[in-house]
Amino acid sequence: MKKPIYMDYQATTPMDPRVLAEMLPWFVEKFGNPASRSHAYGWEAEQAVEKARTQVATLLNADPREIVFTSGATESNNLAIQGVARFYQDKGRHIITPVTEHKAVLDTCRNLEAEGFTVTYLPVKEDGLVDLQQLAEAITAETILVSVMAGNNEIGVVQPLEEIGRLCRQKKVLFHCDAAQGVGKIALDVEAMQIDLLSISGHKIYGPKGVGALYVRRRPRVRLKPIIHGGGHERGMRSGTLPTPLLVGLGSACALAGEEMQAENQRLLSLRQRLLDGILSRLTHVHVNGSLQHRLAGNLNLSFGFVEGESMMMAIKDVAVSSGSACTSASLEPSYVLRALGVSEEQAHTSIRFGLGRFTTIEEIDFTANLVVEAVNRLREMSPLWEMVQDGIDIASIQWASHH
């Protein structure tokens, strides 16, 4: 078993070697600019780009003409939200998005507030899911866009996209879905789910970094104001030379995900269960953050009571995971996603995200479970809070002195 073990598949995924193999010829031998229409180098590049476009579209049950290539999901999210807001602002200036969205969605919305848009940041239920009733009530005559992610990057919770899509269509509001964490992991069908715009990332699905896509519905047609102008590539929605190798990689990653998703999800679910069982059978005071039922198969987010997340990461440094603890971020604020679920700050500081994926093995799961149990026991021995709990003291009853 190779160490360190990578268990951070929601941060990024290794490229699938099959994807890289598809990309390689497009770097050196087939290097044309797909916009060069007058020589063979340009033509073959253009053909490769169109094949990739079809591969991406197929995975979503979309038409290739509905796919706009971008530099990644951050750009896709910015393009979808800014683009819709600026195009439809005469129709209304209200946007709804849950508080647990990715920063690329939340910050884009915040910037629009400065431009005079109103944004409703929708709370989520304790399991991380959007309350459909609440969403329905939040939609007003002014609402032009609802943006809800497919799978959450921290807690893996999968939102009821079909219900949200139905509601949005009923109320004649556009529905954007940040599916950076959903594409290739859950079955997405833009028709069945009535999704109008959908963001895709390459490097979250075993494809390359620096590439993504935005699905933009043609019927009924969704219009956008572009962010990046010049040259008029991507039907004017996104200018800039198309990076053929990266697009080939994205297409190939989508094709592989489509073929393997079902079997892969079964495998990941059983691995995740094994990890969870291995931990819960030997440790108390472990809490699963977010719905376990409506969740990406490759995500497990656990809070280990009385053990601070960053010290936990150090203790299991042979396994690459991430933590919702403030100590792993520059902000000193614990995860806003966990806070939105009503998880206490204390519990947020003790959270660890295990991200499982295509290359995770059963040996790695068992090794991780053992390491986690060992580390938690060791750190609890060192934890004054654990000592107090053992002494029967209710930690919540204590008046803690400082809040920094």
- Enter the tokens of residue 347: 């519990």
Cβ closest to another protein, residue 173 vs residue 343: 343
The three-class DSSP label of residue 173 is coil
Rounded to whole angstroms, how far apart are CA atoms 35 and 67?
A: 17
CB of residue 107 vs another protein: minimum separation in angstroms? 4
- Enter the tokens of residue 31: 């290097």
CB of residue 312 vs another protein: minimum separation in angstroms? 9
Which of 317, 362, 370, 393: binder of another protein (CB under 8 A)?
Answer: 317
Rule CB under 8 A: is residue 345 a binding residue for another protein? Answer: yes
Which of 241, 266, 270, 370: binder of another protein (CB under 8 A)?
Answer: 241
Cβ closest to another protein, residue 272 vs residue 380: 380
Query: In what helix (H) or strand (E) does residue 345 lie, and over which residues does it extend?
Result: helix 345-349
- Enter the tokens of residue 70: 């971008």
Rule CB under 8 A: is residue 118 a binding residue for another protein? Answer: no
CB of residue 163 vs another protein: minimum separation in angstroms? 27
Binding residues among 30-69 for another protein as defined by CB under 8 A: 31-33, 35-42
Rule CB under 8 A: is residue 223 a binding residue for another protein? Answer: no
Judge whether 165 and 136 are in contact, CB under 8 Å. no
Rule CB under 8 A: is residue 346 a binding residue for another protein? Answer: yes
Residue 327 a catalytic site member: yes
The one-character DSSP state at 29 is T
- Of 77, 355, 380, 351, nearest to 214 (Cα)? 77
- Of 148, 165, 176, nearest to 88 (Cα)? 176
- Of 72, 68, 91, 94, nearest to 81 (Cα)? 94
CB of residue 290 vs another protein: minimum separation in angstroms? 20
Cβ closest to another protein, residue 13 vs residue 54: 13
Which of 242, 253, 257, 261: binder of another protein (CB under 8 A)?
Answer: 242
Binding residues among 146-165 for another protein as defined by CB under 8 A: none
Rule CB under 8 A: is residue 139 a binding residue for another protein? Answer: no
Largest CA distance in the chain: 80
Residue span binding another protein (CB under 8 A) among the ranges 126-134, 143-151, 361-369, 383-391: 383-391
Query: In what helix (H) or strand (E) does residue 264 lie, and over which residues does it extend?
Result: helix 244-280
Rounded to whole angstroms, how far apart are CA atoms 112 and 96?
A: 12
Cβ closest to another protein, residue 120 vs residue 199: 199
Rule CB under 8 A: is residue 349 a binding residue for another protein? Answer: yes
Q: In the sheet where 286-288 sits, what is the strand order?
A: 286-288, 299-304, 351-355, 322-323
Output the CA torsion 250→99→341→172 (10° steps): -80
The three-class DSSP label of residue 74 is helix
Rule CB under 8 A: is residue 89 a binding residue for another protein? Answer: no
Q: Count of residues binding another protein (CB under 8 A)?
A: 100
Q: Which is the catalytic residue, given 109, 168, 254, 327?
A: 327
Rule CB under 8 A: is residue 403 a binding residue for another protein? Answer: yes
Cβ closest to another protein, residue 6 vs residue 215: 6
Rule CB under 8 A: is residue 227 a binding residue for another protein? Answer: yes
Q: Which residues are catalytic?
A: 327
